[in-house]
Chains A and B, each alone.
Chain A
Amino acid sequence: MQIFVCIKQVPDSGQIRVHPVTNTIMRQGVPTIINPYDLFGLEQALRLRDRFGGEVTVMTMGPPMAVDSLRKALTYGADRAVLLTDRVFAGSDTLATSYALSNLILKAGETWGAPDIVFCGKQTIDGDTAQVGPGIARRLGLSQLTYVSGIDDMDLTDRQILVRRRGDHGVQVLRSQLPVMVTMMEGSNEIRRGTQADALRAARAEVVQWNAATVGIPDIGLCGLRGSPTVVKKVFAPTAREETAEMVPTTDSSPAAMADALIDQIFTRQPALQDDLLRQAAGH
């Protein structure tokens, strides 16, 4: 069984700081991590491989430094790693990204065997769009199973897969046919610690590096900025409100007195809310 896992190297958002004066993002020195949701995809892939056999190939599109994330993925136990890196991909929006990744998957499929499952995280923590997984699925004609919280069963003979998918009102139990694209939810599987053998292997492993030409991108015009229908017109800091909060005086006040002053202030500003609350209380 061939399983491909798409990952993305992202800035560790917990460590991003906004400059207090200019209100711009300070990215210098911010460490990068594998997008956390992608790790749930990787873990699920490794579990399926351990049970059914086969290979897990982890892949990404990004700058040369993304090789670090791929090597990290190898330490978890992925069998091989591929980086698609080329300046023509710079500035890709989600449509252009899904075009590049789908071509990467096709090339990897020709090289090592077509994937039975392609995993992605449900979304990235930097872009937050949740659009690339569905984009890849459509481009490759794979069944699209997003927000998957668990894989209940798989049958390689009938080529069927049974998944749980988190909806807005509950969980759908779906049966689909391989090959499929699956985007994984958070908390779906505890991430393993790689073995020492994996770590040693990862340190020595070659990360395959391809560019647009080696992958054989059919239409370079569909890549990068040129291939991106969406265009960022401006980036700006949210405007501050005209006036700051009206502060309730607190000098020498007991908590009870402060609470009373605060409630007076709330009800003065929201008399209708006060009326509704009183009506509600009276009705009980």
Chain B
Amino acid sequence: MSNQTSRPAGSGRANMKRELPEHFRSYKHVWVFIEFEHGRIHPVSLELLGEGRKLADKLEVELAAVIAGSGHDALEEVAKTSFSYGADLAYIIDDPVLADYRNEPYTRVMTALVEKYQPEIMLLGATVLGRDLAGAVATTLKTGLTADCTELAIDGERSLAATRPTFGGSLLCTIHTLNYRPQMATVRPRVMAMPVAQEGRTGRIVDFKVDLKEEDIITKVLDFLPDTANEAAQLAFADIVVAGGIGLRTSENVQLVRDLADALGGDWGGSRPLVQKGWIPAERQIGQTGKTIRPRLYIAAGISGAIQHRVGVEGADLIVAINTDPRAPIFDFAHVGITADAITLLPALTRAFRQRLSVNRMAG
């Protein structure tokens, strides 16, 4: 097992213990790509800083935030935020060409930055932007990329152990990138806990320049149409989520879920069968192929709790399951369960919650 160190990089898939080739040993540090678009930091980037901090501490290396865009003041603000969420340093790449996200210039600057500063691990959000960028950067660098990880750890060999759902979420697998650096992974929003910001925590800024010319970039952004009906995008970040499954029996009964969510000031969604039946829009699907949520309270009404659904909700602080079948798998991972028909219980719950909350309003 130890006599394979002389094999060149990429010469083959060997056992797990093989040592990293000499020229990859200079790769140090953990990086998080900070998604900064239209003046907003994507929350997944902050979640990744929390996760990246743990990996960096374990490896005893620094955690860097990578910030690309246009306008140094704004990017410095992003760096400050990144420091408060755990970054030791921030690479800032400021260029007018980077104002809007486009694959080509972003891939170029990320690739150049990696080649110069050589991170051991690079994490990105599994968002539209993150997936678009990560796939292109990993291919350019000819390194491994693991998508949609649900857990990240360092094993004894300084190797990133990236766990992700496989077979449509029915099983998990742990993937390593051997003999190639950096080790790249994407993580979906809300899978990792949001770290607590530490006010006053600072770090250093490294400015990085890449020679970019607008005329060299083939793809042009002609227009941007922001989402106006954006409420569904908030689902992943709601404190309280009520969701319905096939136990609702008819599309009209989806309203019962919405009513309860309303009473609690929360958001609502459903399991995959409801999307397939066209009862709810796809952006309200909760689960492995839909949205991952981490609410303080999750109420699942008439959802049996297939593993795909479980993957999307198990980060919730309190999972409450309502199902007529006492053997439904959802009771295996819910904290509180009740054997009842969602169609009769949901309206009763809505009434009872409204009553309790309005009593207080009168008293207050």
Contact = CB atoms under 8 A, between A and B. Distances in A.
A251 to B, nearest CB: 10
B348 interface: yes
A137 to B, nearest CB: 7
Given A25-B167, A277-B357, A175 B219 contact: yes
Given A144-B104, A246-B337, A250-B340, A175 B129 contact: no
Contact of B136 (A144, A245, A247, A265): A144
B127 interface: yes
A143 B104 contact: yes
A116 to B, nearest CB: 14
Interface in A155-186: 162, 166-177, 186
Interface string B2-26: 0000000011110010000000000
A23 B350 CA distance: 37
A139 interface: yes
Interface stretch (B55-63, B172-180, B193-201): B172-180
A247 to B, nearest CB: 5
A213 interface: no
A263 B128 contact: no
Interface string A134-147: 11011100011111
Given A237-B172, A258-B340, A94 B167 contact: no
A170 to B, nearest CB: 4
Contact of A129 (B132, B148, B320): B148
A171 B228 CA distance: 11
Interface string B163-183: 001111011111111111000
Nearest to A139: B139
Contact of B139 (A98, A129, A269): A98
A16 to B, nearest CB: 6
B156 interface: no
A218 B62 CA distance: 39
A162 B222 CA distance: 9
Contacts of A18: 170-171, 307
B179 to A, nearest CB: 7
Given A167-B129, A232-B175, A262 B221 contact: no
Contacts of B102: 174
A112 interface: no
Interface in A1-46: 13, 16, 18, 23-25
Given A168-B128, A170-B225, A259-B345, A13 B361 contact: no
B12 A226 contact: yes
A229 to B, nearest CB: 3
12 contacts: A128-B147, A128-B168, A137-B136, A170-B227, A228-B13, A230-B176, A233-B176, A237-B171, A245-B333, A245-B334, A269-B335, A280-B265
A235 B224 contact: no
Interface string A214-245: 00000001100111111111111110110011
Interface SS of chain B: mixed
B144 A95 contact: yes
B121 to A, nearest CB: 14
B347 interface: yes
Nearest to A93: B144
Contacts of A262: 320, 336, 338, 345, 349
Interface residues of A, number: 89
A284 interface: yes
Contacts of B142: 95, 229
B135 A133 contact: yes
Contacts of A248: 336-338
Interface string A253-284: 01110111111011001100100111011101
A125 interface: yes
B216 to A, nearest CB: 12
Given A144-B132, A229-B179, A255-B347, A168 B170 contact: no
B30 interface: no
Contacts of A173: 221-225
Given A168-B127, A237-B172, A255-B347, A281 B222 contact: no
A131 B147 contact: yes
Given A94-B145, A175-B220, A263 B168 contact: no
Interface in B326-361: 326, 330-340, 344-345, 347-349, 351-353, 356-358, 360-361
A250 B337 CA distance: 11
A126 interface: yes
Contact of A229 (B136, B180, B337, B344): B180
Contacts of B225: 170-171, 173
A256 B347 CA distance: 9
A269 B336 contact: yes
B202 interface: no
Given A237-B171, A247-B331, A248-B336, A260 B220 contact: no
Given A226-B13, A238-B311, A273 B174 contact: no
